[in-house]
Structure 1
Amino acid sequence: MDWKPSYLDLILVPLGFLISISYHVWLWHKVQTDPLSTTIGRNAHGRRFWVDAMMKDIERKNILAVQTLRNMIMGSTLMATTSILVSAGLGAVISSTYSVKKPLNDSVYGAHGEFMVALKYVSLLTILLFSFFCHTLSIRFLNQVCLLISIPVAEDPVGILTAEYLTELLEKGCLLNTVGNRLFYLAIPLLLWIFGPVLVFLCFVAMVPVLYNLDFMCQKIGKGRGEENGNRDFV
């Protein structure tokens, strides 16, 4: 059987995706079992104390709470805007008849057919649209928290606006923001796929140690009351 250029795409691209997915599955397992060893778990643990501290003295800290949430909303808005702008540009490229849709030159490894080129652009467009979707949902939840956290406890006789409820809304917004960012990072290897599958695989391999240094804490906390509370609070 003769070797075909498309075999590189069939081998390297799924292998790169497998490496990235395996890392994030392992990260999710660590967040559930040992959250304080990850930045995601520690940040979630800290946000619970932050909501409780803001609500205990909301009359004096309402401006601080709203400004903090506004900064988070601005970050999600920036990422959502970037994702939809890139998606609009890719949509224009896909629908056009320009030669930019064609392979750059014959020296690029991998398949050069029209179907493969279309698959590259459509895959990148899909990932960016999902990233935009996650960031817009994150903005929705953060706006709700920004509105509800400034309400004094005395103005809620039913007792619905508790710290637990606001923490749950805040965690949903932060989780969607994290997922949107990871999907945006995933678009980088897919963008390099235009230049060939080898760069896709190398980019996926290089992203794992970078994400590891961002996701895990070097300083460990000893087992005790703090770790037990962290494991209980996160789930």
Structure 2
Amino acid sequence: MTEMIAPHRLDLICLIVSMAVFSAYHLFVWWKLKKNPMYTLYGAIKLAKAAWVVSIMEDKKDILAVQTLRNWTMGATFLASTSILLAVGLLTLSGQGDKLGQIWHTVNLFGSTTQSTITLKLLVILGNLFIAFFSFSFSIRLFSHVGFIINTPPVDGNYGTSMTFVAMQLNKAGSYFHIGMRAYYFLVPLIFWLFGPLFMVVSTLTVVIIIARIDKTPKLECSYLAGFFKENCRLTQK
């Protein structure tokens, strides 16, 4: 067993480090959201989706609900299709791994350059793409369900007409979409892994820094709409 792992030791160590860094960031965000649901845009949008469901079901905005859910479904469908196309393309490249390995490993100064290492890298990337595909597929499934139950007429004892249930399903669909996007983000370090394990670690740190800045809810600027009308800032950031 040790002889099998030895050629890939550095690559596996860098893969574990990259996954640990990526996971640690998301665990930190999860912990912050427990304390402050408005800490990230994802948390703020979850609250907005719940309010949107209440508005749609109370005011009977059936057409708006269908159009909005259709847009979300189309986006998830496009990304799910893209992940499968990338997986098929990756399988095609796997047949030419011996030729491509010479190009990919030109700047690989420390990692393994064996054919088995290339196969390992392609399998990990393929697994990541399938995670993205299934996440987007699950979100499409839930968006379709929400499209039906959000327009269901209120009936006593009907579980599907509960606003809380509809909002929970909508946010669950958004969570799967969120996971799929994170899998896409982690695809960047995995692609750099083809050129060397150290490139993967550096690209992971870069991606985490970028998404940390994107995820953070911007500070509310009270004077932003001052040119149009007076509006008080009611949200506070911790």
* TM-score range relative to shorter protein: 0.7 to 0.9
What letter is aligned with 1:74? M
Which deviates more, 28-37 or 119-128?
28-37
SS at 1:55 equivalent: helix
- CA-atom RMSD, angstroms? 2.2
Quick one: structure 1 residues 40 and 97, their matched pair in 2 at CA, closer, same or farther if it must change by over 3 Å? Answer: closer
For 1:121 and 1:54, locate their aligned partners in 2 and report how far apart those are by CA, in whole Å. Answer: 45
Taking every aligned residue pair, what percent have the same amino acid on both sides?
Answer: 29
For 2:99 and 2:46, locate their aligned partners in 1 and report how far apart those are by CA, in whole Å. Answer: 44
5 Å matches for 1:54-93?
54-58=56-60, 61-93=61-93
Contact 1:31 1:40 in 2 (8 A): no
5 Å matches for 1:68-217?
68-94=68-94, 96-97=95-96, 99-104=98-103, 105-109=105-109, 110-153=111-154, 156-160=155-159, 161-217=161-217
For 2:51 and 2:123, locate their aligned partners in 1 and report how far apart those are by CA, in whole Å. Answer: 42
Equivalent residue for 1:42?
44
Which deviates more, 200-209 or 122-131?
200-209
What letter is aligned with 2:139? S
Which deviates more, 102-111 or 35-44?
102-111
Equivalent residue for 1:16?
18
Q: Which runs of 5+ in 1 are unaligned?
A: 228-235
Contact 2:107 2:196 in 1 (8 A): no
Equivalent residue for 2:229?
none
User: What is the deviation of 1:98?
Assistant: 5.8
User: What is the deviation of 1:7?
Assistant: 5.3
Q: TM (normalized to structure 1)? A: 0.84
User: What is the deviation of 1:226?
Assistant: 6.8
For 1:90 and 1:22, locate their aligned partners in 2 and report how far apart those are by CA, in whole Å. Answer: 28
Deviations 1:118-175 (A, max 9, x none): 110000000000110010000000000012212232xx34342110110111011000
What letter is aligned with 1:158? G
For 2:120 and 2:98, locate their aligned partners in 1 and report how far apart those are by CA, in whole Å. Answer: 16
For 1:187 and 1:112, locate their aligned partners in 2 and report how far apart those are by CA, in whole Å. Answer: 21
For 2:107 and 2:199, locate their aligned partners in 1 and report how far apart those are by CA, in whole Å. Answer: 13
Contact 1:101 1:117 in 2 (8 A): no
What letter is aligned with 2:134? F
SS at 1:152 equivalent: coil
User: What is the deviation of 1:194?
Assistant: 0.9
Question: Which of the residues 28, 31, 39 maps onto 1:29?
Answer: 31
SS at 1:102 equivalent: helix
SS at 1:37 equivalent: coil
What letter is aligned with 2:87? S
Which deviates more, 11-20 or 37-46?
11-20
Contact 2:107 2:195 in 1 (8 A): no
Q: Which runs of 5+ in 2 are unaligned?
A: 1-5, 222-233
What letter is aligned with 1:219? K
Equivalent residue for 1:230?
none
Q: TM (normalized to structure 2)? A: 0.83
Quick one: structure 1 residues 140 and 10, their matched pair in 2 at CA, closer, same or farther if it must change by over 3 Å? Answer: closer
What letter is aligned with 2:101? K
Q: How many residues align?
A: 216
Quick one: structure 1 residues 100 and 29, their matched pair in 2 at CA, closer, same or farther if it must change by over 3 Å? Answer: farther
Quick one: structure 1 residues 10 and 99, their matched pair in 2 at CA, closer, same or farther if it must change by over 3 Å? Answer: closer
Deviations 1:159-201 (A, max 9, x none): 4211011011101100000001101111111111111112211
